A and B are shown apart, each in its own frame.
Chain A
Amino acid sequence: MTISSLLETPSELTDSASSKTAIVLMTRVRLARNLAGFSFPGWAKAPQREEVFAKCRDAVAAAPQMKRCFNVAIGELSDLERQVLVERHLISRELSGAKGGAGVIISKDQAFSVMMNEEDHLRIQVLRAGFNLKKAWSTINDLDSTLEDHLDFAFSPTLGYLTACPTNLGTAMRASAMMHLPALVISNQMEKVVRAVNQLGMVVRGLFGEGSDASGSIFQISNQTTLGESEEEIIKRLGSVLQSIVEHELNARAKLLEADAGKLFDKIGRAYGILQNSHLLSSSEAMNLLSLIRLGVDLGAFADGNRSVIDRLFIEAQPGHLQYAQKGEFEPGQRDMLRAERLRAEFANFTRPDFSFNQPEKN
């Protein structure tokens, strides 16, 4: 499979029918695995990296989940192609910058992605639209067991799966959810939420992981620790934290409507106007406007079916995707023009917001 056919195939993230979920955009689980007897990628010499890469590549490509997969060494991809995969959360920025002896295998539906020789020999990931932690864990558990039949993983009975960084020891599992939390951001409650979540042993990050900002009010929440609890326990704990964040967001929305609906509707209406009429849009401004439209969909100002359009645009408004669609590289200024053009076209036939759901009942 080539990268262009991969990107044209409907994917879990861009074309999901299950974009009905208002707050959790997607869930993701990743496992780190290493081969016994080999140095970790960051320390291995080039020939050993190549050897591990070849071994892993054979085993992963043979898994039934990877039928007709996209299988590539990182060196075979252009900078732009790498950026597109990063924006789709299919590879990490670290892998994107890797030199020789590294690569990725991605399933046809883009639900599974296995990075090879990133920080660990294998980084196995599954991505699901919506709030679906248990299902994500069970599918990745199956893929991991399939790989285990062909690869000898480095494992210690007391420390669990051995990873390059001791912070990943044990289950070597990071489960996360991408959450859209506009009302908590508007009402300045995010800082409080982050603190509370940290105290529960979970971490909050921006859309693209460590160090990224939270444009579009999208946050990634994941487990901090990996040793001392089983995968199921971690997932259960994370699940209940996510559930309570969902409730807080819903409360915050109700309060915004109650306190000053006009102000909120003004924000949504203006976002709609800008998206329809602007000629220059930076990536972060676009994300914030789209976030308000998505909030509008959740509240009932726009038709429900538009949610998946917004979710797709969240990704397609990213710089890599924009340039990839135009088949060329552009300066940031030109990109802002292209982005505005793209969004104007998308919103030209987007039905106007209807805020009548909030009208007081007439006598």
Chain B
Amino acid sequence: MANPLKCDLCSKPATVHLTQIVNNKVHKVDLCEACAQAKGVTDPSGFSLADLLLKASLNPEPAATGVRCEQCGFTQNDFKKLGRFGCPACYDTFRSVLEPMLENMHSGTTHAGKVPTRALERKSLYDRLTKLELDLTEAIKSERYEDAARTRDEINQVKQAFNQQATR
């Protein structure tokens, strides 16, 4: 074997390979027989990969701290410690942690108040513009000039809407 898997906890050759999905994130661990026994991996009902990983101080890999926000690097452990999130994207990353808390925390679980309509409109125009510009480049590259002309007209329309929104 070119690169035999080592146990995540003690670096002996790993013979137990485990994959668990928590909060839509995939976690993998490789353990040797002895560690697998010691951590109770052979008893699936009493075993939580997340707990094991959190306690595995020997494991230098980032997965050791559980789910991590891709945007800002915040972990579920950080949330437990601070009670606050790292960035707006954390609300997606930690959705499954947060949702059960909301009912106790608030009088409802769905927003019923003000909506930043103009900002959202601006964002959707911007997203559309970005996509159209990609389409245009693509069309020119593959010499679909009719498509390109149509896309260009659309781009102009969106730009106009964008400017109108800005001056309203």
Contacts and interface: CB of A to CB of B under 8 A. Distances in A.
Interface of A: 34, 36-40, 42-43, 119, 141, 144-145, 148-149, 151-162, 164-167, 169-171, 173, 201, 225-231, 233
Contacts of B122: 152
A255 to B, nearest CB: 34
B38 interface: no
A225 B88 contact: no
B87 A39 contact: yes
A230 B85 contact: no
Nearest to B98: A166
A155 B120 contact: yes
A155 B115 contact: yes
A229 B108 CA distance: 7
B105 A170 contact: no
Contacts of A170: 106, 111-113
Given A152-B123, A166-B101, A170-B106, A40 B87 contact: yes
Contacts of B120: 155
Contacts, number: 112
A198 to B, nearest CB: 13
Interface of B: 71-72, 74, 78, 82-88, 91, 98, 101-102, 105-116, 118-120, 122-123
Q: Say what secondary structure dominates the interface of chain A.
A: loop
A15 B68 CA distance: 51
B113 A229 contact: yes
Q: Which of A156, A162, A227 has the most CB of B within 10 A?
A: A227
Contacts of A159: 91, 110-111
13 contacts: A34-B88, A39-B87, A40-B88, A43-B78, A149-B118, A169-B102, A170-B112, A171-B113, A225-B107, A227-B105, A230-B113, A230-B114, A233-B112
B111 A158 contact: yes
B84 A119 contact: yes
Nearest to A237: B107
Contacts of B101: 166
Contacts of B111: 156-161, 169-171, 227-228
A37 B123 contact: no
B167 to A, nearest CB: 10
B106 A43 contact: no
Q: Which of B107, B108, B109 has the most CB of A within 10 A?
A: B107
A276 to B, nearest CB: 49
A172 to B, nearest CB: 9
A42 B108 contact: no
Contact of A231 (B72, B105, B114, B123): B114
B106 A226 contact: yes
A166 B85 contact: yes
Contacts of B85: 40, 43, 164-166
Contacts of A171: 111, 113-114
B8 to A, nearest CB: 28
A38 B87 CA distance: 6
Contacts of B98: 166
Given A225-B106, A228-B112, A154 B88 contact: yes
